[in-house]
Structure 1
């Protein structure tokens, strides 16, 4: 069975929340989110989501050259991204209630 379908809708919100605190490199975002959800996402997932969030104008990036001469992108949230996050607060509260209910009820099923 696959559980990533449940996670899929929330990963974008996690990304936006993390970079709303501070601009971050893609690798740092990936590492932090994998740690938060306690399971590694499939390779490339974060970068695909970052690209999609950028296309929707929810994030932007600046290009930086590191000490090794490699180019990296630092992502930060845009005003549209902040609005998107705030818009989802009420639906997340509803989903939270549903999830708490499911977590308490599913173990009772025989």
Structure 2
């Protein structure tokens, strides 16, 4: 991720966990879901850095399964620790939302 997107890394980690609460997914599916949400493609391979870090912190776990074509695929699921981590961010995200809205308003005022 570039410098301008660095702030998104933590938010994207939370987004990955939220997606995995609903269902297990592989890296490609997660990358596609995030790219659709961001309305732009993620830098190639960046999802795997996020997945590796979240896995190392035991927020998610990886399992290798065989898909319908007989190929080995890594799928990710959220752990109890990951769910707890996700739900603990409600208040900080609410605070950040207000700050972000204020910053966006200031940026728009300065641009005009």
TM-score, normalised with respect to structure 1: 0.92
2: CA distance, partners of 1:26 / 1:42: 13
Structure 1 residue 80 displacement after superposition: 0.2
The structure-2 alpha-carbon separation of the partners of 1:48 and 1:2, relative to structure 1 and needing over 3 Å to count, comes to closer
SS in 2 for 1:63: strand
Residue number in structure 2 paired with 1:80: 81
Q: Can you give the 5+ residue segments of structure 1 that lack an aligned partner in the other structure?
A: none
Aligned length: 110
Q: Distance in 1 between matches of 2:110 and 2:42?
A: 29
The equivalent of 1:23 in structure 2 is 24
SS in structure 2 opposite 1:60? Answer: strand
Q: Could you tell me how far 1:69 is from its partner in structure 2?
A: 2.6
Where 1:68 maps in the other structure, the secondary structure is coil
Root-mean-square deviation (CA, aligned residues, Å) is: 1.5
Matched, 1:100 2:85: no
Question: SS of 2:58's equivalent?
Answer: coil
Scaled by the length of structure 2, the TM-score of the pair is 0.90
How much does 1:86 deviate? 1.2
2:58 match: 57
Any stretches of 5+ residues in structure 2 without a counterpart? none
Separation in 1, partners of 2:60, 2:30: 13
Structure 1 position 46, deviation (Å): 0.5
